[in-house]
């Protein structure tokens, strides 16, 4: 049965690929129907278990950092690529990597799942560890209230057989209960840079939680991050950009320590050095001879963190806002972000460029060009000045920008 469904799934997979479709869900569907236990049978055999990474912001980068850190410790790591973070997508990903005889040569699986899909996943496949990053408002038109999202994550934690790793600085995540809980955290000094969902526009002094943490991000000076593990401090020159990615790395370090307690912290921290952020999370490319960083902003807290991390006078800025279903139809969230630090933006673009221009007007931030069409906007932006450039973009705007740039249609 097992082998038959693998063969069947693989046939469907090659057939859909031949037809030129990426088609990641169909082979998964075929296997799911013909062999409902496929996922469970494959993933529960892994020697070091199955990890689920969930939360509102930072899943993709954190999953990447965890996977690469574990690989550097000699484990064979299975992970899901972005865009296949639902049950059928994971099955399809397995199909592409499993042998016809059912051999699945991995020691551990690290899966990125959004809150709703994570719950569905846990219902069909037992998980060993859950890493929960944060609960912030994101696409309220899809998930409803954030308290509801927090309840979903509690369910995921309930399914974790070995341990859960939680962000102690997030009031909703901190409340999640489980038998074996470990935390990651921030120092008092750094927590000011992180707006929690309840105080996006609130300047009140915040303090780090007193819960004992498995890994704390103590400081970040340029690219030099200092992590505290077991009362010792370890420094690392990060490739990851932005303070939130340095904090995602703290989450990854805490999790790796839980999964492999025998690892020496010094080596683990040192192994972070050459790990990069995921696609669209600070990746750089060239247009018209100047460097451009592309930063995904999909909700107010991510946008605020990005502005806190990435705004200075040395760069030109473009903001691209779409309101497709994957971005969230509702653009109200732009008003929960404080843009006053920007002062000036060269180009705003995307389907809701005018909403962004309006938002900036009320933070008395000036805008040179409002151009809804992304290709034309990029062309204008490419010639804005000699300064290096930064683009903040919502999800579908980011995909579109990437496509335009890789097609080099603007050069």
Partner 1 sequence: MSDLTILHLYPKEMNLYGDHGNILALKRRAEWRGYQVKVIEHHLGDTIPKHVDIVFGGGGQDSGQSKIEQDLRNNAAHIKELIDQGTPGLVVCGLYQLFGEYFQTNDQQKIQGIGALRCHTIAGPTRLIGNIVISSPEFGEIVGYENHSGLTQLAKDSRPFGTVVQGAGNNGTDLTEGILYKNFIGTYLHGPILPKNPRVADFLILKALQRKDPSIKRLKALNDNVELHAHSVAANRPR
Q: Does 291 bind partner 1 (CB under 8 A)?
A: no
Read off the tokens for 104.
């699945």
Give the residue, chosen from 97, 179, 212, 354, that forms a contact with partner 1 under the rule CB under 8 A. Answer: 354
199 CB neighbour count, 10 Å cutoff: 12
Strands (DSSP E) found in 187-325: 215-221, 224-229, 232-237, 281-287, 290-296, 316-320
Binding segment for partner 1 (CB under 8 A), chosen from 37-45, 58-66, 139-147, 154-162, is 139-147
| Between 129 and 333, CB nearer to partner 1 | 333
| Spatial separation of the C-alpha atoms in residues 253 and 228, rounded to whole Å | 10
Min separation Cβ 351 and partner 1, Å: 8
Q: Which of 10, 48, 64, 137 binds partner 1 (CB under 8 A)?
A: 137
Residue 53 in contact with partner 1, rule: CB under 8 A: no
Min separation Cβ 201 and partner 1, Å:
6
The stretch among 2-10, 38-46, 66-74, 137-145 that binds partner 1 (CB under 8 A) is: 137-145
Instruction: Determine if residue 192 is left, alpha or beta; phi over 0 gives left, psi from -120 to 50 gives alpha, anything else beta.
Output: alpha
Cα–Cα distance measured from residue 222 to residue 89, given in angstroms and rounded to the nearest whole number? 38
- Which residues inside 180-209 make contact with partner 1, applying CB under 8 A? 198-199, 201-202
Structure tokens at 374: 């992304």
CA distance 37 to 147: 32
Of positions 212, 332, 366, 385, contacts partner 1 by CB under 8 A: 332
State the Cα–Cα distance between residues 233 and 265, nearest whole angstrom. 10
Q: 116, 208, 358, 380: which one contacts partner 1 (CB under 8 A)?
A: 358
293: tokens are: 């960083």
Q: Is 266 in the site for partner 1 (CB under 8 A)?
A: no
CB distance 125 to 43 below 8 Å:
yes
CB of 358 closer than 8 Å to CB of 331: no
Give yes or no for residue 333 binding partner 1 (CB under 8 A): yes
The pairing of strands 160-167 and 127-132 is parallel
Q: Which stretch binds partner 1 (CB under 8 A): 15-23, 312-320, 330-338, 376-384?
A: 330-338
CB of 82 to partner 1, least distance (A): 26
Write out the binding residues for partner 1, residues 360-399 only, by CB under 8 A. 361-364, 370
Contact positions vs partner 1 (CB under 8 A): 137, 140-141, 144-147, 198-199, 201-202, 323, 329-336, 351-352, 354-355, 357-359, 361-364, 370
């Amino acid at each position: 049965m097992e082998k038959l469904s693998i063969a069947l799934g693989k046939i469907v997979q090659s057939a859909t690929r031949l037809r030129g479709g990426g088609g990641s869900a169909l082979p998964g569907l075929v296997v799911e129907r013909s062999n409902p236990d496929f996922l469970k049978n494959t993933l529960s055999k892994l020697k070091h278990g199955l990890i689920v990474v969930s939360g509102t912001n930072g899943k993709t980068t954190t999953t990447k950092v965890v996977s690469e850190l574990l690989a550097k410790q000699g484990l064979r790591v299975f992970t899901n690529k972005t865009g296949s973070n639902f049950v059928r997508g994971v099955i399809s990903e397995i199909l592409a990597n499993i042998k016809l005889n059912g051999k699945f040569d991995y020691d551990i699986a690290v899966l990125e799942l959004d809150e709703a899909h994570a719950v569905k996943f846990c219902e069909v496949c037992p998980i060993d560890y859950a890493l929960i990053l944060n609960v912030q408002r994101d696409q309220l038109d899809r998930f409803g209230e954030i308290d509801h999202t927090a309840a979903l994550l509690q369910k995921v934690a309930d399914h974790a057989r070995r341990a859960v790793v939680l962000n102690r600085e997030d009031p909703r995540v901190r409340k999640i209960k489980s038998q074996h809980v470990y935390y990651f955290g921030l120092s008092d000094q750094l927590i000011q840079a992180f707006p929690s969902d309840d105080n996006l526009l609130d300047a009140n002094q915040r303090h780090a939680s007193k819960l004992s943490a498995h890994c704390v991000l103590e400081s970040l000076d340029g690219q030099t991050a200092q992590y505290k593990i077991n009362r010792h401090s370890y420094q690392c020159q990060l490739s990851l950009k932005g303070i939130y990615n340095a904090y995602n790395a703290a989450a990854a370090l805490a999790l790796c320590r839980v999964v492999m307690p025998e690892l020496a912290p010094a080596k683990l921290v040192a192994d972070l050095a050459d790990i990069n952020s995921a696609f669209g999370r600070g990746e750089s490319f060239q247009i018209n001879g100047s460097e451009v960083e592309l930063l995904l902003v999909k909700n107010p807290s991510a946008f605020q963190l990005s502005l806190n991390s990435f705004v200075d006078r040395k760069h030109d800025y473009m903001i691209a806002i779409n309101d497709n279903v994957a971005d969230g139809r509702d653009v109200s969230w732009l008003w929960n972000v404080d843009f006053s630090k920007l002062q000036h933006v060269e180009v705003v673009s995307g389907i809701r460029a005018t909403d962004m221009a309006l938002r900036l007007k009320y933070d008395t931030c000036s805008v040179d060009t409002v151009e809804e069409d992304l290709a034309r906007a990029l062309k204008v932006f490419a010639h804005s000045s000699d300064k290096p450039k930064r683009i903040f973009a919502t999800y579908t705007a980011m995909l579109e920008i990437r496509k335009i740039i890789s097609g080099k249609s603007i050069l």
